[in-house]
Amino acid sequence: MSLRRKTILMMSLMLLGLALLLYLVFRTIMLDSYASLEQQITLRNLDRASNSISREIERMGRSIHDWSSWNTIYQAVQDKDASELVDNLDDGTFWSLNINLMLFVEEDNQLLYGKAVDLDSNWQNKLLPTFEQYIQSDPRFLRLATGTMTSGLLVVGGEPMIIASRPILHNDDSGPAAGTLIWGRHLGAQELADFSEALKLSLEMHSLNDSQLPADFQRERDILTPASNQAVQPLDERTVAGYVRLDDIYAQPTLLLRTTQDREIYAQGQQSLAYLVAALIVVGIGFGVGMLVLIERSILSPLARLRDRVQHIGATDDLRLPISGSDELAQVTASINTMLNTVSQSRAALQKLNSDLEGRVAERTRELEGQKSQLQTIMDTMGEGLVYSVDGIITYVNRAFVELLQYPSADLVGKPFALLNAELDPTQTPVFKTPHQYETRLIRRNQSAIHLAITATPINQADMHSHRVIIIRDITQERADKAQKDYFFARASHDLRSPLSSIMTRLYMLGKKPEQLDTHLAILNQVSNQMMELINDLLDISRLEQGGMVLNRRNLVLQSVVEQVVEVQKADAALKRQQLCADLVETPVHVYADPTRLNQVVTNLVSNAIHYTSEGGQIIVRLELGERDTIPYACLQVIDNGIGISTEQQPHIFDPFYRASDEHGGSGLGLYIVKEIVDLHGGEVTVESEVGKGTHFTVCLALTDDNVLLGGKTLAADR
């Protein structure tokens, strides 16, 4: 699109947007103002109508005073003489008082005389009995105090009326009251038409309980409240209505009065808005045309000439433009000339740069070759196997992958990867757009099986081939560790379930044979101790594996620990008629260790020897001084002549839950804990055994001299 068309389009859109914005602003301001003025006038007319009814109520209240305080009427009601009342109540009296109903009620609420007048219909024939029935059912406005009165609206027999009630008194308003005088004026269609004529308003009124209430009256009936009893609503584009709720003599909502009027003010506002918008459009069009002419002469035409001159430069290679005037376009022309001079200078510099660039490209090529060599070295020194394949064909393998599979590199490159694992062959597996991870099992060249964790990552290239980088990690040991952990939990669950079953059995037997209480309690105590030992061992294993076991080290004499354990374990050895003795060096052996954990080590070794030694066997706990690599050590030995451990079992006896023989029971945790505690102390535990001849455990711990750890050892094991 040309600049000229863009300018015309933008000017048109701007003028259109401005006209629309001004229309919305003026519409909001003007029409809201006219609508507010219309509402004020409607509310004012509504007040006039309701005030007119209120004034009529007040007038009737003032007029009834003259009749209720009249000795003649007082005497007639007191004497219950209705003839006197009949003589004074002709139709002219009702016309002069502007009422339709007059009732004389005795003190006992009995109607003495009543008369209703309506010249337009026979409404008077049904009003009197209806009203008489009403005052009998609800005589609240009959029981008035002397000197008081009440007046207001009331709906009787479905017809709205203005009612005034006052006690019948003497001329001087003295009592007691002989009865009650009630006046009423019917507010029918004719009366409402009289109000409309007097006020020059269109009025309509309905009872709130009218079953045929018009729709707009029903809507306002549900909206109006005592706090907000007036409302203004447009009925259509030409008519607006105001509504007011009128309360009856008991202050209860009873009537809804509506006044309607033409929407001349709002129509005038709409007409004014239309004239304003038309004026804006005319002015905007004229302004737009003028702006387009000015822009054409001052901007667009000079720009067109500048364009033609620039095109002339491309055709003639004349790097100069003529400058005319002093405006911004002239400045642009001068800037173009400056740019052309710069282009001319840059052309020469570019030729020199091209020659320099060739040298830099050669240098960069050498750098890339060096980086490629570095990358090759990095990939060859990776601990994980790396394979790069294109369309499933191996193009590169690193040294770790060659060592892992034990195949020469020449036997792998150029071959389909499916020869090793079909899952990574793009012709047999879906193409993954994100890294694909899984585990698999492969057979190496020596036919040994290994478990691998493989991550195959697709590489986006410009060609249509499938490129992948495959990272291969040996997880054979991880799987073995996981299997050992699963075995650990299975054995722990089994060893805990057995004593629990014994406890439940003994508790059952205790209920059946309470006379054997001592026997059951002894067995329960034994089983509970076994469970406690197993749980303590499990807790120790948890602390050891999580690095949470803290050693409270101090300088101690090792003989005291050994003697204490031997003394405690002699009772268990005696039960199997075994000989348990200690052969300790006389020189005090000082070690820097945790006495509690060291006691646990010796106890586990001695207890294990008692457990796997037959009745009548012999167990020796020996403490000697030795030397390893010129460093003095304390050597604690536990020697028995029990069943012994086979050569195949010896590498596993320090594994958790491993037992050399299931016939002798045990948790299989003791020796594992022994080794871990000794390792924490920086020591070493070894075993020598022969099946049928016995077992020889040796624990070596560094000696201390004046509480200083010998042999260059540190306290790094305190954790």
Q: What is the pLDDT of residue 718?
A: 39
Of 420, 457, 452, the closest CA to residue 436 belongs to 457
Q: What is the pLDDT of residue 422?
A: 46
Query: How much is the mean pLDDT over the chain?
Result: 79
**Phi, psi at 252, each rounded to 5°:** -110, 140
Residue 311 counted as domain residue: no
Distance CA 406, CA 444 (A): 6
CATH number at residue 198: 3.30.450
- Do 243 and 99 share a structural domain? no
Residue 626 counted as domain residue: yes
Residue 6 counted as domain residue: no
Q: What is the pLDDT of residue 684?
A: 92
Q: What is the pLDDT of residue 400?
A: 80
Residue 278 counted as domain residue: no
Helices (H), 69-119: 71-78, 82-88, 91-97
pLDDT tens profile 266-295: 777 777 777 877 887 888 788 878 887 887
Q: What is the pLDDT of residue 428?
A: 45
Distance CA 440, CA 423 (A): 9
Q: What is the pLDDT of residue 579?
A: 94
Q: What is the pLDDT of residue 712?
A: 34
When divided into structural domains, the chain yields a total of: 6
Residue 211 counted as domain residue: yes
Residue 294 counted as domain residue: no
Region 391-415: mean pLDDT is: 80
**Residues of the domain holding 108:** 55-189
Q: What is the pLDDT of residue 719?
A: 32
- Do 440 and 374 share a structural domain? no
Distance CA 659, CA 665 (A): 8
- Do 241 and 329 share a structural domain? no
DSSP structural state of residue 141: T
Q: pLDDT > 70: what percent of the chain?
A: 80
- Do 423 and 393 share a structural domain? yes
Point out the domain boundary residue: 265, 285, 311: 265
- Do 164 and 89 share a structural domain? yes
Name the more confident of 627 and 329: 627
Q: What is the pLDDT of residue 714?
A: 32
Q: Is the peptide bond before 426 cis (omega within 30 degrees of 0)?
A: no
For the chain, report the end-to-end CA distance as a whole number of angstroms.
80
Are β-strands 150-156 and 111-116 bridged in parallel, bridged antiparallel, or unpaired?
unpaired
pLDDT tens profile 420-462: 664 444 444 444 567 778 787 777 777 777 888 888 888 877 7
Tokens of residue 419, six digits: 């020869």
Helices (H), 317-327: none
Q: Tell me which amino acid residue 589 is.
A: V
- Do 96 and 244 share a structural domain? no
- Do 423 and 377 share a structural domain? no
Point out the domain boundary residue: 131, 162, 189: 189
Half-sphere exposure of 33 (CA within 13 A, CB side): 10
Q: At what angle do helices 328-380 and 301-316 cross, to 10 degrees?
A: 60
Residue 636: pLDDT above 90?
Answer: yes
Region 352-376: mean pLDDT is: 82
Which of these ranges, 120-129, 385-394, 540-549, 637-646, has the smallest mean pLDDT?
120-129
| Phi-psi region at 463: left, alpha or beta (left = phi > 0; alpha = psi -120 to 50) | beta
Distance CA 71, CA 48 (A): 38
Tokens of residue 197, six digits: 């004529």
Residue 303 counted as domain residue: no
Region 659-685: mean pLDDT is: 75
Residue 659: Cβ within 10 Å count: 20
Residue 364 counted as domain residue: yes
Are β-strands 239-247 and 253-262 bridged in parallel, bridged antiparallel, or unpaired?
antiparallel
CATH number at residue 621: 3.30.565.10
Report the SS3 class of residue 176: coil
- Do 444 and 409 share a structural domain? yes
590 forms beta bridges with: 557
660 pLDDT tier (thresholds 50, 70, 90): low
271-294 burial code (b ≥16 CB/10 A, e <16): eebeeebeebeeebeeebeeebee
For 108, 145, 403, 524, 680, the CA distances from 446, given in Å and listed in that order, are: 129, 125, 12, 56, 39
- Do 619 and 662 share a structural domain? yes
- Do 350 and 371 share a structural domain? yes
Are β-strands 579-584 and 618-628 bridged in parallel, bridged antiparallel, or unpaired?
parallel
Residue 601: pLDDT above 80?
Answer: yes
| pTM confidence score | 0.39
Asked whether 609 and 566 are in contact (CB, 8 A), the reply is: no
> Chain centroid to CA 12: how far?
48
Residue 491: pLDDT above 50?
Answer: yes
Sign of CA dihedral 433, 435, 437, 442: positive
Region 90-95: mean pLDDT is: 82
CATH number at residue 92: 3.30.450.220
Q: What is the pLDDT of residue 657?
A: 63
Region 177-201: mean pLDDT is: 85
Point out the domain boundary residue: 352, 381, 410: 381
CATH number at residue 414: 3.30.450.20
- Do 513 and 400 share a structural domain? no
Are β-strands 618-628 and 684-690 bridged in parallel, bridged antiparallel, or unpaired?
unpaired
- Do 432 and 335 share a structural domain? no
Q: What is the pLDDT of residue 529?
A: 64
Q: What is the pLDDT of residue 273?
A: 77
